């Protein structure tokens, strides 16, 4: 039974061959407003969960079609909301409520509760449950309290945004008056930038980004400068060799010039003699330079050889350390948990096969988690249920095991562990979930036991426990 501000209703879930339903039955003798039913049914909108009325033995029930949808509470269990996602969610709910005027609906007819707001997990599109009965209650007060609880407690919010948007929302909700239109404008403002608060945050962000870029540029320039110097001079040894070559060039030039001047002043030679002296000086200079460069290359080769020797020594030491690791250490490192998979992975290790003694079969641990074993075309597939709440479906970002099939629901079914007993629940899938060829009712937990045949649409498995 659901009670909120005096509204008491009984709810259950039902399903047929194609659809899943939320079923509401009224405790008190409420009168259905048929004109509202006609308006919603003849003008369907994704903002409202579609419904139809069933009357049996003077009992009226409302069937809401929630096929391929999940409750907002289930959605928030699986989703971390960023700023954009949270604002879009709040805006969708608010926008759906503001449509009451266009449809001539009463705001008090909306059930504003995490378990009665439905969402398409693939598109995050929100649909509200509307009850077409006359009832008076302060919907704005209820919605304001709901928003506070959602922002503070219920939603798993990534608050890494530095514009304090959550504080601005909560500050607005603390005000005495609450208006859907004003709140919607606030959400749009926050979504589009957030006004002065967001501008200041943006300016601060740009300053930090610019400073960081300048630091990166300085670092790159200094690195390039160091590398250039290193390439030009090659370190202290190369710098000294360059100095020797410069001095040698000066000495050679000065010596040749002095000899030529002496020969000219004493009339001891003609131009051929002077040219011969210059050629001899040039040859001696080239030989000296080659000698210096040869010594430098030899020293570099020695240094490289020492570096390679050091690296080889390290590698040999690491290999020796690996060889000295005991079989016990390998198992302790590779199979910290008692699962069969970890044990097998460690057992296949070459280190273990070389170093360990023979293992007794009785010492191999059994699987510590139940699993689904594939049948038919999916034989050999193994789905290990390693969480207390394990969801199977097509939407990879929100399930624990993905079945890539168009007949499988986005969030198809959930397996829960309760004190060692496992229960299967269909999550409003279109093609249903079956236990031993019997379709189970959506949103109803059914116990599964060892060797039960489980089918998600047309994908069959055997449950092993």
> In the predicted model, is pLDDT for residue 203 greater than 50?
no
DSSP 367: P
- Is residue 261 scored above 90 in pLDDT? no
Q: What is the pLDDT of residues 1-11, one digit of tens each?
A: 666 656 678 89
Q: Is 249:285 a contact under the CB 8 Å cutoff?
A: yes
Most confident of 25-29, 280-284, 454-458: 454-458
pLDDT-based confidence at 267, cuts 50/70/90? low
Q: Which of 306-320, 342-356, 382-396 has the highest mean pLDDT?
A: 382-396
Q: What fold is seen in the domain 1-193?
A: Transferase(Phosphotransferase); domain 1 (1.10.510)
Q: Which of 99, 150, 84, 93 is nearest to 118 (CA)?
A: 93
**89-103, 233-247, 251-265, 315-329: range with highest mean pLDDT:** 89-103
> How much is the pLDDT for 213?
52
pLDDT at 367: 55
**Count of beta carbons in the 10 Å neighbourhood of residue 353:** 9
Mind listing the pLDDT tens digit for each residue in 81-120? 999 999 999 999 999 999 999 999 999 999 999 999 999 9
pLDDT of residue 134: 84
* Per-residue pLDDT, 224: 44
Please check whether residue 408 is in contact with residue 457, taking contact to mean a CB–CB distance below 8 angstroms.
yes
pLDDT at 29: 72
Look at 298 and 235; give whichever has higher pLDDT: 298
Question: Taking 70 as the threshold, does the pLDDT of residue 332 lie above it?
Answer: no
**Quick one: what percent of the chain has pLDDT higher than 70?**
63
Residue 39, pLDDT score = 93
Q: What is the pLDDT of residue 230?
A: 44
Q: Which of 226-230, 235-239, 325-329 has the highest mean pLDDT?
A: 235-239
Q: How many CB atoms lie within 10 A of CB 442?
A: 22
Give the pLDDT of residue 198.
43
Q: How far is CA 80 from CA 77, 85, 120, 157, 389, in A?
A: 8, 9, 16, 6, 17
- Residues 401-436 have pLDDT tens digits of 999 999 999 999 999 999 999 999 999 999 999 999
User: Using an 8 Å Cβ cutoff, are 17 and 429 in contact?
Assistant: no
Find out whether 424 and 433 touch, Cβ atoms under 8 Å.
Answer: yes
Most confident of the following: 12-21, 147-156, 159-168, 211-220:
12-21
pLDDT tops 60 at residue 172: yes
Q: What is the pLDDT of residues 273-324, one digit of tens each?
A: 666 766 777 777 667 666 766 665 555 554 555 555 445 544 554 544 444 4
Q: Is the pLDDT of residue 455 over 50?
A: yes
Q: Identify the residue with better confidence: 439 or 363.
A: 439
What contacts 121, CB < 8 A, 6 or more positions away? 69, 70, 75, 78, 395, 398, 410, 411
Q: How much is the pLDDT for 322?
A: 45
pLDDT digits (tens, 9 = 90+) for 123-146: 999 999 999 988 788 889 999 999
> 14: burial class by Cβ within 10 Å (0-12, 13-18, 19+)?
middle
Q: In the predicted model, is pLDDT for residue 370 greater than 70? A: yes
Which carries the bigger pLDDT value, residue 308 or residue 381? 381
pLDDT at 46: 93
Q: Choose the most confident range, by mean pLDDT, from 22-26, 297-301, 339-343.
A: 22-26
E strands in 123-253:
126-128, 156-157
**Topology, domain 371-464:** Tumour Suppressor Smad4 (2.60.200)
Which among 132, 152, 100, 112 is positioned nearest to 5, based on CA atoms? 112
- Say what the pLDDT of residue 200 is: 41
How confident is residue 251, by pLDDT bands cut at 50, 70 and 90?
confident
Taking 50 as the threshold, does the pLDDT of residue 329 lie above it?
A: no
């Amino acid at each position: 039974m659901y009670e909120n501000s005096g509204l008491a209703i009984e709810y259950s879930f039902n399903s047929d061959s194609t659809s899943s339903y939320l079923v509401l039955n009224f405790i008190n003798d409420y009168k259905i407003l048929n004109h509202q039913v006609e308006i919603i049914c003849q003008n369907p909108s994704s903002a409202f969960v579609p419904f139809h009325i069933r009357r049996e033995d003077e009992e009226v029930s409302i069937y809401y079609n929630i096929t391929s949808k999940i409750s907002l509470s289930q959605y928030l269990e699986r989703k971390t909301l960023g700023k954009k996602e949270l604002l879009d969610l709040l805006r969708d709910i608010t926008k759906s409520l503001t449509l009451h005027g266009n449809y001539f609906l009463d705001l008090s007819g909306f059930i504003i509760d995490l378990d009665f707001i439905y969402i398409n997990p693939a598109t995050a599109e929100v649909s509200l449950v509307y009850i077409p009965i006359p009832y008076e209650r302060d919907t704005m007060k209820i919605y304001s309290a709901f928003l506070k609880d959602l922002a503070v407690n219920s939603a798993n919010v990534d608050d890494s945004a530095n514009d304090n948007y959550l504080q601005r929302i909560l500050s607005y909700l603390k005000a005495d008056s609450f208006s859907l239109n004003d709140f919607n404008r606030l959400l749009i403002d926050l979504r589009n930038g957030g006004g002065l608060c967001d501008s200041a945050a943006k300016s601060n962000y740009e300053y930090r980004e610019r400073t960081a870029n300048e630091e990166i540029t300085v670092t790159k320039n200094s690195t390039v400068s160091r590398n250039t110097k290193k390439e030009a001079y090659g370190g202290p040894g190369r710098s000294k060799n360059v100095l020797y070559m410069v001095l040698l060039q000066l000495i050679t030039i000065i010596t040749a010039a002095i000899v030529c001047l002496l020969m000219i002043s004493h009339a001891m030679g003609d131009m051929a003699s002077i040219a011969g002296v210059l050629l001899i000086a040039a040859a001696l200079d080239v030989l000296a330079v080659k000698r210096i460069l040869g010594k430098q290359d030899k020293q570099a080769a020695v240094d490289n050889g020492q570096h390679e020797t050091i690296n080889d020594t390290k590698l040999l030491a690491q290999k020796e350390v690996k060889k000295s690791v005991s079989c016990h250490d390998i198992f302790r490192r590779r199979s910290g948990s008692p699962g069969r998979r970890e044990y097998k992975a460690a057992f296949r290790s070459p280190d273990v096969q070389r170093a360990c003694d023979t293992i007794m079969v009785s010492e191999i641990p059994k699987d510590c988690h139940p699993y689904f074993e594939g049948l038919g075309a999916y034989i050999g597939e193994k789905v290990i249920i390693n969480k207390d709440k394990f969801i199977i479906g097509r939407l990879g970002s929100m399930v624990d095991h993905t079945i890539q099939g168009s007949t499988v629901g986005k969030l198809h079914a959930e397996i829960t562990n309760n004190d060692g007993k496992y229960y299967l629940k269909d999550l409003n899938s279109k093609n249903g979930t079956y236990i031993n060829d019997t379709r189970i009712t959506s949103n109803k937990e059914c116990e599964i036991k060892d060797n039960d045949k489980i089918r998600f649409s047309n994908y069959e498995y055997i449950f092993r426990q």
